[in-house]
Amino acid sequence: MEMNFSQHISGQFNTDLEAIRSHMMAMGGLVERQVANAIEAITSGDTSPADEIIRREDDVDRMEVAIDRECTQILVRRQPAASDLRMVLAVSRVVRDLERIGDEAQKIAFHALEIGGSANSGFCQQAIRYMGAEVCKMISGALDAFARHDVDGAIDVVRHDKLVDQQYSAALRELITYMMEDPRSIGQAINILWILRAIERIGDHARNISEQVIYVVSGADVRHSSLTEMEERAHPDNAAED
Amino acid sequence: MTDQQLTTRAKVERSMTRRRRAEMRFRAYGVMSIAFGLLCLVVLFSNILGQGLSTFRQTVLEVNLHIDGDALGISRQSSEAEISAADYETLLKNFMREKAGATSRDDRRLAGTLVSVGAPWQIRDAVLANTDVIGDHLRLEIIMDDDVDQWYKHDRDIGQPGRLKDNQIKWLESWIADGSLHTRFNTTFFVNGDSREPELAGIRGAIAGSLLTMLVTFLLSFPIGVAAAIYLEEFAPRNRMTEIVEININNLAAVPSITFGLLGLAIFIGLFGVARSTPLVGGLVLTLMTLPTIIISGRAAIKAVPPSIREAALGLGASRMQMVFHHVLPLALPGMLTGTIIGMAQALGETAPLLMVGMIAFVVDVPNFISDPATVLPVQIFLWSDSPERAFTERTSGAIIVLLAFLIVMNTAAVWLRRRLERRW
Amino acid sequence: MPIIKDHKTDGLPFSDSPKLKARNVNVFYGEKQAIYDVSLDIGANEVIALIGPSGCGKSTFLRCLNRMNDTIEICRVDGQILLDDDDIYGSKVDVVPLRARVGMVFQKPNPFPKSIFDNVAYGPRIHGLVEHRDELHEIVENSLKRAGLWNEVKDRLHAPGTGLSGGQQQRLCIARTIAVDPEVILMDEPCSALDPIATAKIEELIDELRENYTIAIVTHSMQQAARVSQRTAYFHMGQLIEVNPTDLVFTTPQHSLTEAYITGRFG
């Protein structure tokens, strides 16, 4: 008997599974660029990428629908089990998270347009730049971990999400200080608040993607669990080799 | 791409012609072989029927005989023994001389030989059956001699005298003219046993012998064969011993039948002292011969019962015997019966082994029981075919027709039985 | 040689309330070993599915449980199989009552060529379960009802069982099996010859039967195993690779061989 289990008996099944994975990766790449551009628009004060971001959000939505349909097709036609089932479910969930990230990037772009040229007013610029860079890394880290079935990489992303959350709290306090000092800046500050909030949400979605990596690899559903719990369950003694 | 497809199709087309031709050829071979078989069958049947059908007609002379009680020395009050002992032969001879109007010494002799030597007994039997005819006239169809019979049925049409003298033919022609000499259905052939005189020889003895022999064969071989088949197929452990038994049974089916005759002679007659020439010993020998056929066909029938039925029974907790008797045997029985009947048909046509156990003896009496001396149909055929008289050649074919009829009946019964038993489910 | 040396079954091969216990069972067909050291509990009132590629020994193992392998002369069974703690391969055990306690339903529907009534009545008759004809009638009716066949055949109980459709025949076979009131029912691919509707009916029936019986089912259809069973045992080349609750086996199998088989990477 052939003992190489990397391939299904059905070549088409292999192709189909590979297709949803690569389509998800492509969508991830697009979303990641959207976020990076949005952060760039905010921090540089150059609003020109913002229009582009808003336009491309439609592409992201279309990709989500298309990939979701492919997942449904596989579920219907192949009745996948075990790792295949987990892969399809995870892709379907990840795609939804990516779409939300896309939404958040669009929101940032809107706010960038609203703030307009006055972006360099200085509120929390540091925090936005830092957090933006962080979540971009998280998205790519999560997608990499997914591609490589890398549980440790995924846990690393979750760890980063903690940092982003801390920075978000710090930035909020800073913002409140500004608003109390100068009530005229409240309008501006609220825009900044929404932007910070969007970035923080992107971090959360990246964390969700990482959780799906753990689900795909080890079968453990680690949503809504703490980091230590996650680490424990992602590495059971006899994790399924794949 | 298109080119290649075309050439592929062309290739297929070309091979199709070849294939069709091969198929046609094969079909033609089949038709030819079947036609050849049919032709042989037609030749055989027409030959046998052509020779044998005339057996079923018999030449008789219708006479109105005066039973002269005084001349015979009997009266209506005479005892049976006295009537039996009376000299009917002279009575008949005198009558024939008168009827022929023979005066010379030669003519008187010739007139007397026209009737069968059995004719006086015919008169005796008629008188015994009805003593009122003593002193009166008796109307009787007297059986003619085989020479007359043959002349009437065959030679007369082509103007040959056969073995008759001119005078005799003259008399016969005149009797034909007045309607007293004619043919009737040959009941003698079916009610008499064997005889040296062809016109008196019949197959009743042989038929009775065959039936009794078959009865013995069936009563022995069917239960033994079925039991052996069931044991070997369902119960016997698979080991060297059963393997040897199996091989031997298969080999026995191919042993020349005369060997069984020798075996029967040595064992049944030599060792156990069973009487020779009886249906009992014949049946025993034929049982030996038929058993392998029945066992082999019985095993095949048992094997043909789907294993799923066995599993179903065993799975429900039936014991092995319950499984066999409740499920396997009822399903296998039609096949077993067919095998048995085919084996019996084979045995019915068997001659060689019976020769060895003395069933070739000349037996006139019809056997009533399995221990009476008897012969069987095929042996009777064999005996007659060896006789020089022309009339016996005719009877040989007649007996063959009867034997074939028996075989056809048996095979039809096999088919019918099979259908009937199978139709239940 | 076993394909994996010193293999220990992954997962939970043992049960808290075992009905049948197999311990270190080895099965040989002549020189060839078909089952290697299988230990497995079948819990009371559970449906356990035995899955695995063709020739993996799952049917062989199933047939050990009511000694149907006895009918194969060259088959030899080592180890212990306990039904309620009695060794069914004990020297004093008679297979006839054993098979009444552990019934079997086969791959191909195999009703006897008798009437529907006689099919169901056969078991009770041979085991002497009834005294009167009324009682027999009651058993037949109840068994057919439990097999979900009563309404379809009540008007033609004396028609031949072989005249039913495939699915009905298989339910008749199940009725026949439960007529002798077994404790365990073994099913050897009971739906492989049936269409999806008939299959669904049998699966529904299996689910209902679980209340009163312990059921072990061999199946080639992983979806069927997933639908009907509480636990799934995966056999591979005569070894019991993994036993786990069915939902676990089909989402996160423990052993890579199980994973490869149920995801369609071989088999």
Q: What is the pLDDT of residues B79-100, one digit of tens each?
A: 888 888 888 888 888 888 888 8
Helix axes A151-181, A227-234, angle to 10 degrees: 170
Tokens of C224: 């069927």
Length of chain C, please? 267
pLDDT-derived band at B108 (thresholds 50, 70, 90) equals confident
The interface residues of chain C toward chain B in range 111-170, judged by CB-CB distance below 8 A, are 111-114, 122-123, 126-127, 160, 162
The rounded percent of chain A whose pLDDT value lies above 70 is 92
CB contact under 8 A, B309 and C96: no
Kindly state the average pLDDT of the residues A35-52: 85
Helix axes A11-44, A48-78, angle to 10 degrees: 160
* Vertex C40 angle, CA C35 and C46, to 5°: 130
| Mean pLDDT, chain C, whole residue set | 90
**Is it the case that residue A242 has pLDDT exceeding 80?**
no
Closest by Cβ to B317, choosing from C96, C106, C112: C96
**Is it the case that residue A2 has pLDDT exceeding 60?**
no
All domains of chain A, ordered by start, with CATH?
13-234 (1.20.58.220)
For residue C267, the model assigns a pLDDT of 60
For residue A121, the model assigns a pLDDT of 58
For residue B133, the model assigns a pLDDT of 86
ipTM above 0.95, yes or no: no
pLDDT digits (tens, 9 = 90+) for C45-81: 999 999 999 888 899 999 999 898 888 888 899 899 9
For residue A120, the model assigns a pLDDT of 47
**Is it the case that residue B399 has pLDDT exceeding 70?**
yes
For residue A25, the model assigns a pLDDT of 95
CB contact under 8 A, B322 and C126: yes
CB contact under 8 A, A238 and C253: no
Kindly state the average pLDDT of the residues C240-259: 92
Q: Which residues of B touch C (CB under 8 A)?
A: 237-238, 306, 308-319, 322, 326-327, 330-331, 425
Chains A and C touch (3+ CB pairs under 8 A): yes
pLDDT digits (tens, 9 = 90+) for A145-201: 999 999 999 999 999 999 999 999 999 998 898 888 888 888 888 888 999 999 999
Neighbours of chain A (3+ CB pairs under 8 A): C
Among candidate residues A211, A99, A62, A97, the one with its CA nearest the CA of residue A146? A211
Domain CATH code at residue B326: 1.10.3720.10
Kindly state the average pLDDT of the residues A210-227: 89
Q: Does C259 touch chain A (CB under 8 A)?
A: yes
SS3 label, residue A241: coil
The rounded percent of chain A whose pLDDT value lies above 90 is 55
pLDDT digits (tens, 9 = 90+) for C95-145: 888 998 999 999 889 999 889 999 999 999 998 888 888 889 999 999 999
Kindly state the average pLDDT of the residues B107-124: 88
Kindly state the average pLDDT of the residues B357-370: 83
For residue A122, the model assigns a pLDDT of 65
**Domain-ending residue, one of B195, B216, B244:** B195
Quick one: C10-262 is in which CATH superfamily? P-loop containing nucleotide triphosphate hydrolases (3.40.50.300)
For the whole model, what pTM was predicted?
Answer: 0.77
Tokens of B66: 């005066």
For residue A215, the model assigns a pLDDT of 93
Among candidate residues A128, A123, A162, A150, the one with its CA nearest the CA of residue A212? A150
Tokens of B74: 């009997």
Closest by Cβ to C265, choosing from A7, A219, A220: A7
Neighbours of chain C (3+ CB pairs under 8 A): A, B
User: Are residues B33 and B76 located together in one domain of the fold?
Assistant: no
**Gap from A17 CA to chain C (nearest CA, Å):** 12
Residues on chain B touching C68 (C-beta within 8 angstroms): 311, 314-315
User: Are residues B43 and B64 located together in one domain of the fold?
Assistant: no
User: Are residues B35 and B63 located together in one domain of the fold?
Assistant: no
Kindly state the average pLDDT of the residues B237-259: 88
For residue C72, the model assigns a pLDDT of 84
For residue B362, the model assigns a pLDDT of 82
User: Are residues B174 and B90 located together in one domain of the fold?
Assistant: yes
Kindly state the average pLDDT of the residues A99-126: 80
pLDDT digits (tens, 9 = 90+) for C22-48: 999 999 998 899 999 999 999 999 999
For residue A238, the model assigns a pLDDT of 44
Q: Does C260 touch chain A (CB under 8 A)?
A: yes
CB contact under 8 A, A86 and C263: no
Nearest CA in chain C to B327: C112
CA distance A146 to A88: 12
Phi and psi torsions of B62, nearest 5°: -85, 120
**Is it the case that residue B103 has pLDDT exceeding 90?**
no
User: Counting one residue from B and one from C, how many pairs have CB atoms under 8 Å apart?
Assistant: 67
* A213: CB partners within 8 A, 6+ apart: A90, A142, A145, A146, A149, A150, A151, A153, A154
pLDDT digits (tens, 9 = 90+) for B383-392: 898 888 888 9
SS3 label, residue B175: helix
Residues on chain C touching A8 (C-beta within 8 angstroms): 263-265
For residue C183, the model assigns a pLDDT of 92
User: Counting one residue from A and one from C, how many pairs have CB atoms under 8 Å apart?
Assistant: 61
**Is it the case that residue A76 has pLDDT exceeding 50?**
yes
pLDDT-derived band at B19 (thresholds 50, 70, 90) equals very high
Phi and psi torsions of C234, nearest 5°: -105, 120
pLDDT-derived band at A221 (thresholds 50, 70, 90) equals confident
User: Are residues B81 and B12 located together in one domain of the fold?
Assistant: no
Closest by Cβ to C263, choosing from A1, A84, A218: A84
Nearest CA in chain A to C226: A81
Kindly state the average pLDDT of the residues A80-107: 93
- Edge-to-edge strand ranges of the sheet holding C239-245: C10-11, C239-245, C231-236, C47-51, C214-218, C184-188, C102-105
**Is it the case that residue B422 has pLDDT exceeding 80?**
no
User: Are residues B245 and B267 located together in one domain of the fold?
Assistant: yes
User: Are residues B328 and B411 located together in one domain of the fold?
Assistant: yes
Nearest CA in chain C to A87: C251
pLDDT-derived band at C242 (thresholds 50, 70, 90) equals very high
String of DSSP letters for B257-286? HHHHHHHHIIIIIIIT-PPTTSHHHHHHHH
Nearest CA in chain C to B425: C113
**Gap from B190 CA to chain C (nearest CA, Å):** 46
Kindly state the average pLDDT of the residues C186-197: 89
User: Are residues B240 and B379 located together in one domain of the fold?
Assistant: yes
Among candidate residues C121, C63, C105, the one with its CA nearest the CA of residue C202? C105
Range of the domain at B15: 2-53
Kindly state the average pLDDT of the residues A86-106: 94
For residue B307, the model assigns a pLDDT of 87
Which is more confidently placed, B30 or B369? Answer: B30
**Gap from A222 CA to chain C (nearest CA, Å):** 14
For residue A187, the model assigns a pLDDT of 83
- Number of Cβ atoms within 10 Å of the Cβ of C74: 11
For residue B387, the model assigns a pLDDT of 86
